[in-house]
Amino acid sequence: MMLRLMLADDNGLVRGSLRTLLEQAGFNVVVEAADGEQAVSLAHQHRPDVILLDLSMPHLNGIDAARQIQKSIPEAHTIILTIHHDHQYVVRALEAGARGYILKNRAVEELVRGVQQVAEGKLFLSYGLSHQVVQKV
């Protein structure tokens, strides 16, 4: 079965690039959102297998959107996509229920593998982040 994905990022160019990358890898991007509130609403309507959320979005950031989605759709698999590598963001995302945290500058190398692992119920962090988080906790 082809995984159904949702992309949420306020930058349309980024969404388009991610969509192309993911669809070339065989995923089905069923819906896109331009802000956090829209992401929460569309997640309820479309029930995608994996939800990719930009951390910095208008109206509701990705971490808060992930938290709301996890409360109402506990089976949802969320991944935070961001430029922020600070361990505090990673910890907050995981506490909110995100199962993945991928740095945008590593997306080409890690996105497909990260989506696959998160869809399987595993945790995925961009290269180097797990060591950084463990060091700070």
pLDDT tens-digit series, residues 56-106: 999 999 999 999 999 999 999 999 999 998 889 999 999 999 999 999 988
| Tokens standing for residue 96 | 């909110």
Q: With a threshold of 0.85, does the pTM exceed it?
A: yes
Distance in angstroms (rounded) separating the CA atoms of residues 124 and 57? 21
pLDDT tens-place string over residues 116-126: 999 999 999 99
Whether 60 and 35 have beta carbons less than 8 Å apart is answered as: yes
Distance in angstroms (rounded) separating the CA atoms of residues 6 and 18? 11
How much is the average pLDDT of 102-114?
91
**How many structural domains comprise the chain?**
1
CATH number at residue 20: 3.40.50.2300
Which structural domain range is residue 98 located in? Answer: 4-136
